[in-house]
């Protein structure tokens, strides 16, 4: 049987990346790096929501056991945010770590391993 592929949004994502399936909420989270936004898709309701951050984001990962809290990366920083997944607004709760002061580099893809440790890579910014 061939897989079923369907379009889930009419939004024009510029560079959709870093998908994360949250089995607890049965939701897919992803970022649009160049669109500077985070997204949530709920297959059961076909609802697709967006919050614009205004800076390049490369990952979004729900914080286990913390409702509406996520780790995102903004440029060189690892940041804790609060987002209900429905509104267009987020609250930055805390900058957890500034990876490096070299402004030529930015955080790129990342994921958590099975023990909850965050692994992320960095790259040179476009010039």
Residue 124's contacts (CB-CB under 8 Å, 6 or more residues apart) are: 104, 105, 106
Residue 108, annotated as binding a ligand: yes
Q: Please return the burial class of 3, using the count of CB atoms within 10 Å of its CB with bins 0-12, 13-18 and 19+.
A: exposed
100 annotated ligand binder = no
Residue pointed to by tokens 């049987």? 1
Is 24 within any annotated ligand binding site? no
Both tokens assigned to 115: 């023990």
Q: Which residues are annotated as a binding site?
A: 17, 108, 126
Q: Which residues are annotated as a binding site for substrate?
A: 108, 126
Q: Which residues are annotated as a binding site for a divalent metal cation?
A: 17
């Amino acid at each position: 049987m061939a897989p079923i592929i369907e379009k889930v949004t009419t939004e024009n994502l510029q560079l959709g990346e870093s998908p994360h399936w949250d089995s607890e909420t049965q939701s897919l989270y992803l970022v649009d790096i160049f669109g500077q936004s985070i997204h949530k898709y709920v297959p059961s309701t076909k609802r697709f929501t967006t919050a614009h951050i205004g800076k390049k984001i490369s990952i979004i990962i729900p914080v286990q056991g913390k409702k509406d809290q996520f780790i995102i990366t903004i440029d060189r920083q690892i940041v804790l945010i609060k987002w209900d997944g429905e509104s267009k607004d987020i609250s930055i709760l805390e900058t957890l770590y500034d990876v490096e002061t070299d402004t030529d580099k930015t955080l790129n893809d990342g994921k958590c391993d099975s023990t909850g440790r965050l692994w992320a890579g960095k790259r040179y910014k476009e010039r």
